[in-house]
Amino acid sequence: MAHPTEWKGSYYDGQSLVPQHVTVTVEPVGLSLHFANGITRIWNYQELRQTQGRYLGEEVRFERGTGIGETLVISSANILIAIHEQGGSHAGHFHHPGTRLTRVYWTLLAALAVIPIIYGIFTWGVPWLARPITAAIPLSWEIQLGQFVQQEFTAGKSVCTNPKLIHAVESIMTTLTYPIDTLPYRFQVTVVDSPVVNAMAAPGGYVIVFRGLLQDTGSPEEFAGVLAHEIQHILLRHTMHLIVRHVSMAFIISALSGDASGMVSYALQAAHTLQTLSYSRNAEDQADEQGFQLLQQAGINPDGMLSFFAKLGKEQTRGTVFRYLSTHPATKDRLAHLEELMPPVSTTYRIFPFQSEWAEINTLCDAPPGSPS
Ligand SMILES: [Zn+2]
């Protein structure tokens, strides 16, 4: 079979997107480009880079000059064989199609190897990678995510706005967070008007409490016990850690880069994770222990934390209690551990100004008619 001696090519001058048709011949020193207007130009092999045409089915592309230089595109790869025959050592830096098939196999093999690696990262790698990833997420990104997650949790539900209730709840939150030296978040608590007994922590300092739980607390101390536990889930970044372990790679890349675009879809993923999955037993113990310390630092009687969980444990047959107890089981172990944390000597604790009114305050939700919202 006779080898072709000339090839049809498209020449781009680097300024216009319209190609000029050229006929190309292969010479010992370079390629000869014959233009339609009769002009012939020689492109020396040393000035050329081959930027495409290493794989089967690809066009061969040569570039000349820096930046957007001149380009020559030839659809047939056999010009490369001719270049190697004619150009010898001058043409050594061009791809030889003879090695093409091997290269295809290697590429395929590499692609096949990547699949289990990615799978491995997701199934085995992420659990231990989750901690350093969580630590590397910028605080501002976490706070922004938390804002969206909080909106997601309260979307379509009414939120309690009664000023007396809000004042009491916020004052407990402030009392609890005041002793923390450097507060990374502005802690906010939202009460959702729902009979469900539940409380959730979202990243960035957002705590969501359902009215059902609030009404089950018999004192400000019991409510403070739940808040202290949830605050610690946020401060210890358990919330972010849980999310990082169960979201998409795109979420993680975006979180690490601090890029806020696509935040709404990430908040949906995060809210879904927080609603359907639980923290590890270890994280729960940590939140109990450090929540307990937080109560003591704030001068709030930590007995409330213990008594509230013990009470919920007794009420677990009630359907509405199930939600919170499913993630915070009042097991014997847990209660015993909380009891161990109790100081041996009795201390004097703070009395909230609304202490005696708690049984009335925790039933409020709607703002009274005519009050400013
Ligand atoms: Zn918890």
- To the question of pTM greater than 0.75 for the whole model, the response is no
User: How far is the centre of ligand 1, averaged over its atoms, from the C-alpha of 135 (Å)?
Assistant: 20
User: How far is the centre of ligand 1, averaged over its atoms, from the C-alpha of 308 (Å)?
Assistant: 14
User: How far is the centre of ligand 1, averaged over its atoms, from the C-alpha of 94 (Å)?
Assistant: 62
* Residue whose tokens read 């979420």: 251
Token digits of residue 350: 């703070």
Strands, DSSP E only, in the chain? 6-12, 20-26, 30-35, 40-44, 48-52, 60-64, 70-74, 188-192, 199-202, 206-210
pLDDT of residue 317: 67
The answer to whether the CB of 270 falls within 8 A of the CB of 243 is yes
Domain boundaries, the chain: 6-95, 137-361
Token digits of residue 61: 């592309």
pLDDT tens digits for the chain (373 residues)?
567 889 999 998 877 767 889 999 999 999 999 999 999 999 999 888 887 776 666 778 888 876 567 888 898 888 888 888 888 887 777 877 766 556 666 666 666 665 555 555 655 555 667 787 888 888 999 999 999 999 998 988 899 999 999 999 999 999 999 988 888 899 999 999 999 889 999 999 999 999 999 999 999 999 999 999 999 999 999 999 999 888 877 788 888 888 887 888 889 989 998 988 888 889 999 999 999 999 999 999 999 999 999 888 887 766 666 678 777 877 788 888 889 988 877 788 999 999 999 999 999 998 888 765 5
User: How far is the centre of ligand 1, averaged over its atoms, from the C-alpha of 286 (Å)?
Assistant: 9
For residue 220, report the phi and psi dihedrals to the nearest 5 degrees: -60, -30
User: How far is the centre of ligand 1, averaged over its atoms, from the C-alpha of 59 (Å)?
Assistant: 59
User: How far is the centre of ligand 1, averaged over its atoms, from the C-alpha of 289 (Å)?
Assistant: 11
* Residue whose tokens read 């050229």: 22
User: How far is the centre of ligand 1, averaged over its atoms, from the C-alpha of 46 (Å)?
Assistant: 68
Query: Cα 298 to chain center, whole Å?
Result: 33
The answer to whether the CB of 169 falls within 8 A of the CB of 160 is no
The answer to whether the CB of 148 falls within 8 A of the CB of 264 is yes
- Domain 6-95 class, CATH top level: mainly beta
User: How far is the centre of ligand 1, averaged over its atoms, from the C-alpha of 230 (Å)?
Assistant: 6
For residue 196, report the phi and psi dihedrals to the nearest 5 degrees: -65, 140
User: How far is the centre of ligand 1, averaged over its atoms, from the C-alpha of 29 (Å)?
Assistant: 75
Helix, strand or coil for residue 240? helix
